[in-house]
Structure 1
Amino acid sequence: MEYDALLVLSFGGPEGPEEVMPFLENVTRGRGVPPERLAEVAEHYHHFGGVSPINALNRDIIAAVEAEFGRQAIELPVYFGNRNWHPMVEDTVARMRDDGVGAALAFPTSAWGGYSGCRQYDEDIVRARAAAGESAPRLVKLRQFFDHPLFIDAFADAIRAAVQRIPLDRRDRVRLVFTAHSIPVSADAAAGPPDDGGHLYGRQVVDAARLCAGATGFDDFDVVWQSRSGPPQVPWLEPDIVDHLEALSAKGIDAVVVCPVGFVSDHLEVIWDLDNEATEKAAELGMAFARAATPGTDPRFARMIAELVGEHLSGVAPRRLGTVPGYGCTTDGAPCVVGCCEPPRRRG
C-alpha cells in the first residue's frame, strides 16, 4: 500500500476554562465517574487556567516530525486528530478525505497495549472513517513502541539528568520509581490477546521500566501508578505514587527520582500528580525529589516516529529491546488480534 499522509492521534484536552467540563464529560461518558470526582479533576485544569498542555505539546511533536521528515526526504503531510476534544479525529479524517488522501499511517501518542492505550484508537479510526463516508482514507495504525531503543534512550538520559538534581550527599542512595497511568485491575487483566494471559499493559510498563533502569545502572526500582479515577469501589492498579512515597519514607529512604515512563509528554497528569502532589508530599517527608522529563520534546522521539513510518514506507526492520510482546499495527481499525484488548464489559 502507498501512503499519502501521517495522522497523529491523541487524547485531546481543553484550551480554555469554558471547555473543561465538556471535555471531561466526553472523556468519562458511560464510565460511572461520580460528579464530585469530575469537579475535583476540573479544578486541576482550572489551576492552570483551564488549559491542558497536551494539544500544544502534540503540535510541538508534529513540528519536530515534519522537520525530521524533511531531513529524511519523507514526503508525507502530517495531520492531527483527537479522541475527546478539538481537533476531533472525525473532523480531521474528513479534511484528509477532502484533501485527496487515499491512505495514511496513524501514530497514536500511546506506547502501550490495553483498551484505552491501543484498542480504543482502533475504535476512533473506525468511527472517524464511518463519519467520512465511502471516500474515507485507509488508515494503518503504527505499532506499540514501549520498548523502542530511541524511546528508552530518551528516558534513560532524562533519568540521569534527574539524578543530578538530587543533592550530592544523597545521590548514592537514590530510589528510582517509575509511574504510569493507573487503570482498573479488570481492564489490565483483559489487556492483550485472549491466549496471551492478559495484563499486557502492566507487563509492558514493567518491561519498559526494566529497560530504562538497566540503561542507567539501577539494579533495583519500583513501578507504581498515578492518576486513577472512576468509582472508588472499583479496584485500580496500585500503589499510588503519593502513598508509595510515604511507604519509602517509612523505610528511611530520603532521595527519590520519579520517571513517568507511562507518559509521552508533560501533560496535566504529569504536572499535577507529580510536579504538584508528589513534589509536595516529598517536601513534607523531607525527601529529596526529582522528576525525569518525558521524551516528547527529545529529538529522538521524532526520529522514532520517522523510523516507525519507515517500517511501512521502505521496509525498515522493527527495532525492539523488550521481552514482552508488542502488538497494535492495524488497518482501518480492525483488531490486530481477534478479541485483543477489549473492554472488560465485552468479555464473557
Structure 2
Amino acid sequence: MYDAFLLLSFGGPEHPDDVLPFLQNVTRGRGVPPERLAEVAAHYQRFGGVSPINQQCRELVAAIRADFSVHGIDLPVYWGNRNWRPMLADTMAQMRDHGVQRAITFATSAYGSYSSCRQYLQDLAAARAAVGPRAPVVDKLRHFHDHPGFVEPLADSVVTAFGELDPAARETTRLVFTAHSIPASMNASSGPESNGLYEAQLLETARLVAARSLPGVGWDLVWQSRSGPPQVPWLEPDINEHLRVLAKDFTTQVVVSPIGFVSDHLEVIWDLDEEAAATARQLGLGFARAKTPGTDSRFVAMIRDLVQERMRTSDDGSRAGLGRLDHWDFCASHCCPAPASSARR
C-alpha cells in the first residue's frame, strides 16, 4: 500500500541569514506587521540564528529508522519541511527520483485546525503540483492527541518537573498547559465541538496528562506564541497574563507543560523558558517547565503504531486512544477551512 514514510515538519533557520527569510515564509499572507517580524527575529538571533527544530527532526528521523528496522517495517524514511530546508517540494522530488509512488506522512502536530492540519495537506498538494505528474501520492496520518505514546511521555515529564519544586507546597501548585494560540475564528471553524476541534482536543490531552501525572492538582489550558495583527481576536489567556492571575490567587508555584508541541523548539524555549520563567520570577512563583516528547521511545513507537494502523489490510475500526473524541483516518475536504487572509495567498 505504501512504499515510503515522510516526516513532515515546520522547519526552522540554521544560520543567522536564514532567520528573516524563514519568518517571511511562515507569515506570508497573514498581515503580520514588520515590527513583529523584527521582534521574533531578535529571539532567534539570541540563539545564534539557529532553531533547534531541524536537529530535533534529524534525531527523530534516526529514531524512526531504527524502530522501523527492529519491527520489520521496510519503508525508507524521508523528511521535508513546510517553511525551511529541506523544503517539502525538494524532498518530494527526491522521492520521485527514487521511484516512490505512494507515501505515508507523519506531521509533527497532534491536533486539528487549519494551521495544524489542513495547511499541511495544502502543502502536500502544492509540493506535488510543483514536482509534476510523477510526484508520489502522500497520505497524512491521523491526529494523535490522545494516543498513549503521546500522553504518557508528557505525563512523566510533568512528574519530573514537579520534582524540581517544593512537594510540601503541592496544595498551592498549579499545573498549566500551553499550546500555540490561533485566531478564535480558526478555532471555531475547526470542528463541530463546542470548543472547536483544536481547543477540544487540547482540553482532552490536558485532562489525560493531568490525571496521569498530578491527580488532585488544579490545572488550566492557556496559550502562547500569538503572532497575528492585534485587531484579530486570538485564543486567550496568554501564559504570562495567566501567571499574573495565579499569583494573585494564592498560587505559589507552577508546572508548565507545552502539550501543543512535540519537541522543545524555539517557541517553547523562548516563550516559556525565557519569557514565562521571567514573569514567574517577577511574581515570586516557583516555576518548572515539563519537556515535550521529542524522541522518547514511546513517542517513536506511537509513530510506528499509526503507520501499522493505516497499513492493516482490513480495518476493524479500532484506534489507539485514551480520550472520548472521535478518530478518523482522512479529513473531509471541507474541514478546518483556511482563514480569509490565508485563502488569498
Superimposed CA distance per residue, residues 94-139 of structure 1 (whole angstroms, 9 cap, x where no aligned partner): 1000001111101100000000100001001101111111111111
Q: Give SS of 2:8's match.
A: strand
Q: Does 1:290 align with 2:291?
A: no
Give the conservation status (yes or no) of the 8 Å contact 1:181–1:262.
Answer: yes
- The equivalent of 1:341 in structure 2 is 336
Alignment of 1:106-255 (within 5 A): 106-192=105-191, 199-219=196-216, 220-255=218-253
Could you say if the C-alpha distance between residues 290 and 262 of structure 1 is closer, same or farther in structure 2, counting changes exceeding 3 Å?
same
Shift of 1:167: 2.2
Give the conservation status (yes or no) of the 8 Å contact 2:88–2:127.
Answer: yes
CA distance in 2, matches of 1:58, 1:281: 30
Which stretch of structure 1 is more off in the superposition, 196-205 or 59-68?
196-205
- The equivalent of 1:50 in structure 2 is 49
Counterpart of 2:150 in structure 1: which amino acid?
F
Shift of 1:4: 0.9
Shift of 1:198: 6.8
Counterpart of 1:24 in structure 2: which amino acid?
L
Unaligned residue ranges in structure 1 (runs of 5+)? 331-335
Give the conservation status (yes or no) of the 8 Å contact 2:150–2:298.
Answer: yes
Counterpart of 1:4 in structure 2: which amino acid?
D
Unaligned residue ranges in structure 2 (runs of 5+)? none
Counterpart of 1:210 in structure 2: which amino acid?
R
Q: Give SS of 1:122's match.
A: helix
**Structure 1 residue runs of 4+, over 4 Å off?**
195-198
Q: 1:260 aligns with which of 253, 258, 280?
A: 258
For the aligned residues, what is the CA RMSD? 1.5
- The equivalent of 2:67 in structure 1 is 68
Could you say if the C-alpha distance between residues 224 and 196 of structure 1 is closer, same or farther in structure 2, counting changes exceeding 3 Å?
closer
- The equivalent of 1:103 in structure 2 is 102
CA distance in 1, matches of 2:292, 2:7: 18
- The equivalent of 1:333 in structure 2 is none
Counterpart of 1:200 in structure 2: which amino acid?
L
Q: Give SS of 1:312's match.
A: helix
CA distance in 2, matches of 1:168, 1:260: 21
CA distance in 1, matches of 2:295, 2:245: 32
Give the conservation status (yes or no) of the 8 Å contact 1:3–1:103.
Answer: yes
TM-score, scaled to structure 2? 0.95
Superimposed CA distance per residue, residues 141-165 of structure 1 (whole angstroms, 9 cap, x where no aligned partner): 1000001011111111011101101
CA distance in 2, matches of 1:323, 1:60: 32
Counterpart of 2:336 in structure 1: which amino acid?
C
Shift of 1:168: 3.4
Counterpart of 2:312 in structure 1: which amino acid?
S
CA distance in 1, matches of 2:196, 2:106: 23
Q: Give SS of 2:294's match.
A: helix
Aligned positions, number: 338
TM-score, scaled to structure 1? 0.94
Give the conservation status (yes or no) of the 8 Å contact 2:3–2:103.
Answer: yes
Shift of 1:313: 2.4
- The equivalent of 1:311 in structure 2 is 309
Shift of 1:197: 5.6
Could you say if the C-alpha distance between residues 246 and 196 of structure 1 is closer, same or farther in structure 2, counting changes exceeding 3 Å?
closer
User: How high is the sequence identity, in percent, across the aligned residues?
Assistant: 55
Q: 1:301 aligns with which of 296, 299, 302?
A: 299
CA distance in 2, matches of 1:324, 1:118: 17
Superimposed CA distance per residue, residues 195-231 of structure 1 (whole angstroms, 9 cap, x where no aligned partner): 5567110111111101111112424310000000111
Counterpart of 2:42 in structure 1: which amino acid?
E
Shift of 1:70: 1.3
CA distance in 1, matches of 2:270, 2:325: 30
